[in-house]
Amino acid sequence: MSKQVEAQISDLNNQLDESSRNIQELNATKSRLIADNADIVRQLEEAESRIQALNRERSSLLAQLEEAKRNVDDEIRVRAI
């Protein structure tokens, strides 16, 4: 009977060791995923910032285009007179 108990204890210790290794692997994976997520969030924030800058530039260029169109229209009117 004691041999059976010792065998059970040995099996349980092996299961515990395996579970501990699995936990360590999962924690390492979790840490890697957290770091990856932080990097992706940073990249997203940078992309959003670039989008905002491009939208501001687009608005400025559209305003310049409208001004140029008005100048052309004014020039056409002056030459038509």
- Residue 57 to residue 62: CA distance in whole angstroms: 9
Predicted confidence at residue 4, as pLDDT, reads: 95
Digits of tens for pLDDT over the chain (81 positions)? 999 999 999 999 999 999 999 999 999 999 999 999 999 999 999 999 999 999 999 999 999 999 999 999 999 999 987
Predicted confidence at residue 28, as pLDDT, reads: 98
pTM over 0.85: no
- Structure letter (DSSP) for residue 81: -
Residue 79 structure tokens: 């030459």
Predicted confidence at residue 81, as pLDDT, reads: 77
Q: Decide: helix, strand or coil at residue 1.
A: coil
- Residue 55 to residue 62: CA distance in whole angstroms: 10
22, 25, 31, 36: CA torsion to nearest 10 = -120
